[in-house]
Chains A and B, each alone.
Chain A
Amino acid sequence: MKDKVRDWLETGKVDLFLGYKQVDGHPLPHAFSKENLAELGELIVSPARYALEKLATEILAIKPALKIGILGRDCNQRAVNVLTVHQQISPGQIQILEVNCCPSPLRKHAACSTLQPQTYGAVKLELGVDNNMSVAQMDQFDQESLYSRWMYEFQKCLKCYGCRDICPVCFCKECSLENNDLVATGGLPPEVPLFHLIRAVHMAGRCVDCGLCEEACPVDIPLRLLYRKVNGIVKDLFGYETGGSHEQPPFSLLGESTPPEAEPHSKAV
């Protein structure tokens, strides 16, 4: 892996390589470059996942001439596909060095940061939705119970916007979650369930099921399950496999494109 990255940097296949390095006991994302090749000895695969493709996209919005390599699992690859389809990056701007991901029968949850699924308390299991549920299991609840269970989850929301901020495929310049006509900003509690349903609808044909939003949610709302359900519908109705396709999702009927644009450094005036 290190030799390959060295090769990529030396031959100029990439100008910058985002991998991980152990810093003060924490595996942190780190940018390796031709200037600091000696550091490559410290390149590691991190058990904690960061959306390296999001970091790369942010750099590219400011420096479009760069070519960036990233250490990537399957979810990173899917996110890069979606970012390319939505024209946030051009094909080839981000090169992925694939690392192991594959859940095996021995380690079902090795795919992500946590080897074992988290277990939840009795109250959540009784009143809410278990984050470890599959869509099929969730569908067994009747309508009334589904409604009350999801409302139990949604009303916990702190409106931290973490689910949006961490998401590798959330790139809209004007976010509907900050549109005062839909969601009043600057106040709590958030509009429930509107806040979550807006996000869920926007994740149709976009969410790559990386699970980072759920990991970032301070109140354990089963966001990944919600978006899985939404994307299941997209697949059933349109046959569109989000993240696996190089075609526009079925919702871009007008052929709209959102050109990449660097966010202003400060929104405050």
Chain B
Amino acid sequence: MYRLVPSVCSYCGTGCGVLFEVLDGQLLKTLPLKTHPVNQGKLCIKGWNLHEFVNSRMRLQSPLLKVNGRFHDVTWNRALQFTAEKLKGIIEKYGPDSVGVLVSAKITNEENYLLQKFARAVVGTNNVDHCARL
């Protein structure tokens, strides 16, 4: 019924330890993980409010595709298919270096690894950069 779930803040690359209060499957609050070596029981204002974006009604629940100037909810299959075709077309026409990949501090090491692999091995470009340099 009531659980406390340890996790890592997804907002920036610092990676502070957090503890989620979950009551009946609903995320109630976020607490700093006191014994975490990175943040030692402290958080910034973003970390303290992680539950707000998880519960936000503004949160995107499915991919959006712009058709005739308006966004529409679409399935992941449709979104991926569409993106793959577009990318393919661009690469064929302008070459692989016309594509750049921005990785992120908000995702895991493994996901970042996969993204650079995608850029280098699938697309064929070294244009990989990171949101922290924006």
Instruction: Give A residues with C-beta under 8 Å from B.
Output: 16, 23-31, 33, 48-50, 55, 58-59, 62-63, 113, 158-162, 165-166, 215-218, 265-269
Contacts and interface: CB of A to CB of B under 8 A. Distances in A.
22 contacts: A16-B2, A24-B6, A28-B19, A29-B4, A29-B19, A48-B35, A49-B34, A58-B23, A58-B29, A159-B45, A160-B45, A161-B48, A165-B48, A215-B41, A216-B42, A265-B27, A266-B57, A267-B52, A268-B52, A268-B53, A268-B55, A269-B57
A25 B17 CA distance: 13
Contacts, number: 88
A12 to B, nearest CB: 16
A174 B59 CA distance: 25
A268 B32 contact: no
Given A26-B36, A31-B2, A50 B31 contact: yes
Given A26-B35, A26-B36, A58-B29, A217 B42 contact: yes
A265 B2 contact: no
A81 B85 CA distance: 64
Interface of B: 1-4, 6, 17, 19, 21, 23, 26-29, 31-36, 41-45, 48, 52-53, 55-58
Contact of B4 (A30, A160, A217, A268): A30
A162 B31 CA distance: 9
A49 B41 CA distance: 10
Given A26-B36, A50-B19, A218-B44, 7 more contacts: A28-B19, A48-B41, A159-B45, A162-B45, A216-B42, A268-B52, A268-B53
B1 A50 contact: no
A261 to B, nearest CB: 14
A159 B43 CA distance: 11
A158 B58 contact: no
A215 B34 CA distance: 9
Nearest to B16: A218
Nearest to B17: A26
Given A26-B36, A266-B56, A62 B23 contact: yes
Contacts of B4: 28-31, 55
Contact of A218 (B29, B42, B56, B58): B42
Contacts of B34: 48-50, 113, 215
B45 A58 contact: no
A216 B21 contact: no
A266 B42 contact: no
A162 B53 CA distance: 18
A55 to B, nearest CB: 6
A30 B36 CA distance: 17
Contacts of B6: 23-24, 26, 28
Contacts of A216: 32, 41-43
Residue of A113, A217, A265 most packed against chain B (CB within 10 A): A265
Contacts of A218: 42-44
Nearest to B3: A31
Given A24-B6, A31-B1, A59-B23, A268 B35 contact: no
B11 to A, nearest CB: 12
B35 A265 contact: no
